[in-house]
Amino acid sequence: MRGSCLCGLVKYEISGSPRPVVGCHCTQCRKSSGHYVAATQTAKSSIAITGQDHLTWFQSSQTARRGFCATCGSQMFWTEETSDNISVMAGSIDGDSGLSMDRQLYPDDKGDYYALPEVAVVDQSTLK
């Protein structure tokens, strides 16, 4: 699986099979993406990123950061500092991904201008 930012300066290749897509409606995801975030996830050891000199990391909370292309502004990645995994924005994947959204987070924070996808909602109290 391969993908890139809008201008193509940041590219990645994922080896193995990433998890299904998760939709997140939290305020941070909506503000950083302009809508809600839809992301898959893989082990950091399973992704090769090229063009890292064009990648900017924003510390969006005490424990997590978001990776953006410094040239075109595409949001590419999200990761918790202590995690072995990295989330990859599903819209940055080139071609058909073969993935589907299987759950969503923070539906109570969603924007009032859209309906929730018809996918299971995860109880955030069960998350670490």
Query: What pLDDT, on the 0 to 100 scale, is given for residue 61?
Result: 93
Cα gap 73→89, rounded to integer Å: 13
Q: In this structure, what CATH number is given to the domain that contains residue 61?
A: 2.170.150.70
Which of the four pLDDT bands, split at 50, 70 and 90, describes residue 127? low
Number of domains in the chain: 1
**Domain residues for 92?**
2-126
> Rounded to two decimals, what is the model's pTM?
0.89
Q: What is the pLDDT of residues 17-76, one digit of tens each?
A: 999 999 999 999 999 999 999 999 999 999 999 999 999 999 999 999 999 999 999 999
